[in-house]
Amino acid sequence: MSTARVSEGIRDACQELILDDKKIGEIMTRFLKEIQLGLKKETHAKADIKCFVTYVQDLPNGKERGKFLALDLGGTNFRVLLIHLKGDDDFEMQSKIYAIPQSIMLGSGSQLFDHIAECLANFIKEHKLQDERLPLGFTFSFPLKQLGLTKGFLIRWTKGFNCEGVVDHDVVELLEEALKRRGDVQIEICAVLNDTTGTLMSCGWKNHDCRIGVIVGTGSNACYVERVENAELYDGPDNGKSHVLINTEWGAFGDNGALDFIRTEYDREMDEFSINKGKQTVEKMISGMYMGELVRLALVRFTKAGLLFGGQGSDLLFKRYQFFTKYVSEIEGDSPGSFFNCYDVLEELGIFHATDEDCANIRYICECISSRAAHLSSAGIATLINKMNEPSVTVGVDGSVYRFHPRFHDLMMEKIRTLVHDHISFDIMLSEDGSGRGAALVAAVASRDAQ
């Protein structure tokens, strides 16, 4: 059993990463103000948090039935799913993952959509569905301005994509054109959505109190149920429906400087070397794409200051993006007093001279950065819960950080409990395959409405 303690120098230097209640209160005030700017017509164009209207107005009621396709594009892989909904929580699902080569991620839009269409066609042939015309829900997890359920214009690429000829274009139209060029499959795209909407729909199918969908994975975002009269950009039919789902795109919170009062030198350096400098400020403080790199930047600073490893690092430690976010989860997953995982991680980085005290310090640094991410997510969620002011709200959450980090769920539950109004009860549920099954459910609900 190790008795190694965190050194005073590290503890003092990490204070700037800890968000006290006063700072969290200020973050919530600023976040709510930004949400309101995004919802209003006259301020929307200048707002960082865009609050895009999704045109999804009906949540699942559990009675949806039939076969639906889902296409889930949100990272270096995408999935095609065939989902057979049988009602009452009963469904069958088959899916296949397809890779997107780096050359396509950075190539032209037509290359990207031709590649997706080819994989879709192969999937349909494998499942012998060529003679059926199936409704498809398209999860497109990038900032999207929607003008209808099947009309969504890409605002900007994130997550390492940079395909030409897609920004400011309707992604549904681009996919339809790629399918038309092939001419060998019959697909009706019923809805385009992002992964937060899918997460909310997937959880809403099982829990009818679900009103918020959150992703804490490679990226971070949230959607929630808003009253139509508050969503000034809603341009759909006056169908008597009082609510609509809003895709906040909260990853851009802080792009106007609203979070500068909590940003550290690690945040600034990471942004400086990112491919979307000055964008997605809060996402860079929360999500899995950046968390490991934030830890690495802190480790480098403390090594150079002689506070870690006797001042001796390694080539890999000093190389950008070589400290993976999964390392953070592994290090924090060590049982108290043991550092097995930490030593394994350090060996992978070519550091063989670490001590137990180094490991205690590293774990503390990881805890500060992951707790900050969990508390920022909690501040956003609590603001939305308080804004909706419903007596009971379930929050559906998905994403690799939330799923695999050993403390993330507990940190969020604990913090949100202190931030929501006393008369509101809330719960957080893990979304089972939100971006896939949720997309099929949006298509199912759209088909149900059409009928």
Q: Which residues are catalytic?
A: 159, 195
Please tell me whether residue 327 adopts helix, strand or coil conformation: helix
| C-alpha gyration radius of the chain | 22
Q: Which of 94, 87, 8, 35 is nearest to 444 (CA)?
A: 87
Q: What angle do CA 233, 278, 404 make, to 5 degrees?
A: 85
For residue 91, the tally of other CB atoms under 10 A from its CB is 17
- List the structure tokens of 155: 């605002």
- List the structure tokens of 50: 């865009």
Q: Which of 404, 415, 307, 321 is nearest to 357 (CA)?
A: 307
CA distances from 11 to 292, 302, 354, 356 (A): 19, 11, 18, 16
All residues at 6 or more sequence positions from 441 whose CB lies less than 8 Å from its CB, including other chains? 60, 64, 68, 85, 137, 198, 201, 202, 204, 205
Q: Distance between CA atoms of 109 and 438, rounded to whole angstroms? A: 25
- List the structure tokens of 209: 């109190």
- List the structure tokens of 419: 């931030």
CA distances from 221 to 32, 49, 169, 224 (A): 15, 10, 21, 11
